[in-house]
Amino acid sequence: MNQDELKKAVGVKSVDFIESNSVIGLGTGSTVYYMIEELGKRYQNGDIKNIVGVATSSRSQKQAESLGIPMKDLNDVDHIDLTIDGADQIDKNFQGIKGGGAAHLLEKMVATNSHKNIWIVDQSKMADELGSFPLPTEVIPFGCEKTFSDLKAENLHPEFRLDENGKRVLTHNKNYVIDLKMGSIKHPHLLADWLDHQVGIVAHGLFLDLVNKVVVGYDDGPKVIE
């Protein structure tokens, strides 16, 4: 199976965990695309009833709406039962890096308001240690050169994320993304704590202690790891 087929297989499989009468957080990305597509099918044929979705990006919002899935804003639900999202890298302790699609701030807000979180990934995302995938941060434009210098001084190898025209990528909230290209993250909790205390950084892509179930796409089919 190619990577896209693996993503589709886990996206479809993950919908088995969605129950009727629940509020579902919808992540962002090419793997989540398949999950939302399958959820739309099962909602339309009545296998899953009475759900509300909470999106983590305008992409997922639009896709879910186009399939007729009722959607609400995070402000308008009192809880989320389950969020299903993709990830960029997951270590053996289920700690993860997210934000490859620059949606990590909204994804983290939805994830931390969810009773349960499931990640869906193809096998290439599983790693012994985090860090070979660059760690995204989201920084406010005001004073961003100072924020950049602080990250550099900490030896975190920052780089502004650029689009195909060489312009700085803007997030949903019109902030910049600085990727940290460290190669290896030995102490994710210490790093997350330091990043959490930097005033100009709105969010970072370390998602720690949030997930206890991952659906991984292997060539012989999706496996649920808990």
86 marked as part of a ligand binding site: yes
58 marked as part of a ligand binding site: no
Q: How far is the CB of 206 from ligand 5RP (least distance, A)?
A: 12
Strand, helix or coil for residue 156? coil
Q: Which residue has the tokens 């460290």?
A: 182
Could you say whether residue 101 binds ligand 5RP (CB under 6 A)?
A: yes
87 marked as part of a ligand binding site: yes
Catalytic-residue membership of 164: no
Could you say whether residue 3 binds ligand 5RP (CB under 6 A)?
A: no
Answer for which of 25, 27, 53, 134 binds ligand 5RP (CB under 6 A) is 27
Could you say whether residue 200 binds ligand 5RP (CB under 6 A)?
A: no
Q: Which of 37, 38, 65, 107 is catalytic?
A: 107
Q: What is the per-residue DSSP string for 44-64? A: HTTSS-S-EEEESSHHHHHHH
User: What's the token pair of residue 75?
Assistant: 């402000």
* Closest residue by Cα to residue 195 from 138, 130, 131, 113: 138
Q: Which residues pair with 225 in a beta bridge?
A: 214
Catalytic residues: 107
Task: List residues binding ligand 5RP (CB under 6 A).
Answer: 27-31, 85-88, 98-104, 107
